[in-house]
Structure 1
Amino acid sequence: MTQATETVISHATRDDHMVDHREMKSALLRGWKRCCPNCGEGPMLKGYLKVRDSCPVCTQELHHHRADDGPPYLTILIVGHLLAPLMGWVYMDFRPNPLTMLAGFSICTVALSLYLLPRFKGMIVAFQWAKRMGGFGPSAFYKD
């Protein structure tokens, strides 16, 4: 057999062992809603940021996640990119009292951060689930 023929045969046998596909878009939307990425019905989080060990509805194990620094990083990135230009625009066009501006933007920063943080955590866990990262199943291509 030639090298090309062996490559085609090896790819064909590997395709027989493909793992079923997990849809990324629906998983991320379920994560945004803080629901289980597998069934979309059970709550992913218990408390504010604590991920459940498993889904109470479909028993999908969720304790494998590694969403350590990702959610705070994304929260800071998004909040900063939204509020920094807005702060510059408000200051240049309206010239508010600095204490008023500080109070208003502090409240906006905290509120937006508290809103986004658990949603980004859900999305990162859902992303890891969809890509079978960590302990969420065998690799995305081949069964064990």
Structure 2
Amino acid sequence: MDSIEAPTTWTTSFMRGCRRKCPRCGEGAMFRGYLSIADHCSACKLPFEPLRADDAPAYFTIAIVGHIVVSGLLMLESYAHPPTWVQLAIWLPSTAIMSLAMLPYLKGAVMAAIYCSNKDA
């Protein structure tokens, strides 16, 4: 496990978190379910309990998805003028799918950022 002993950069740890892997070693899974955090890394035994992301991943998800959906909705409206039911049929499922797809990865990224800020302190 040379990667544990070698200091990791903030970028490396953050990218590992974006992949839902341990920010320290990049090998163990950070989650045991969709959003359920594992107790510790299976490879390096880093405890994940202190890396509490709370509501930050949801806020980031809403901000990103909101920008994409509102931009798409306004562009479609200005170019094609579809009926309201078409807009709803496109953007409601898109919002739900994008939100559910992004949330676990953003939670991993936030947890990795917390790890990086705590490791330097």
1:123 paired to 2:109: yes
How far residue 22 of structure 1 moved from its aligned partner, in angstroms, is 4.2
The verdict on how the C-alpha distance between 1:130 and 1:22 changes in structure 2, with shifts beyond 3 A counting, is farther
- Structure 1 counterpart of 2:14, one-letter code: L
CA deviation string 1:66-110 (max 9, x = no partner): 200100000001111111011011011111121121011011111
1:87 paired to 2:70: no
**Counterpart for residue 49 of structure 1:** 35
Can you give the 5+ residue segments of structure 2 that lack an aligned partner in the other structure?
1-5
Per residue, is there more helix in 1 or in 2? Answer: 2
Matches of 2:53 and 2:36, distance apart in 1: 11
Moved over 6 A (4+): none
Which of 71, 85, 91 pairs up with 1:105? Answer: 91
Aligned length: 116
How far residue 130 of structure 1 moved from its aligned partner, in angstroms, is 1.0
Normalised TM-score (structure 2) = 0.89
Given that 1:22 and 1:130 are in contact with CA atoms closer than 8 Å, whether structure 2 keeps it comes out as no
Matches of 1:22 and 1:100, distance apart in 2: 48
**Counterpart for residue 44 of structure 2:** 58
Matches of 2:90 and 2:114, distance apart in 1: 36
- Structure 2 counterpart of 1:92, one-letter code: S
* RMSD over equivalenced CA pairs, Å: 1.4
Structure label with greater radius of gyration: 1
Normalised TM-score (structure 1) = 0.76
| Paired-residue identity, % | 34
1:35 paired to 2:33: no
**Counterpart for residue 57 of structure 2:** 71
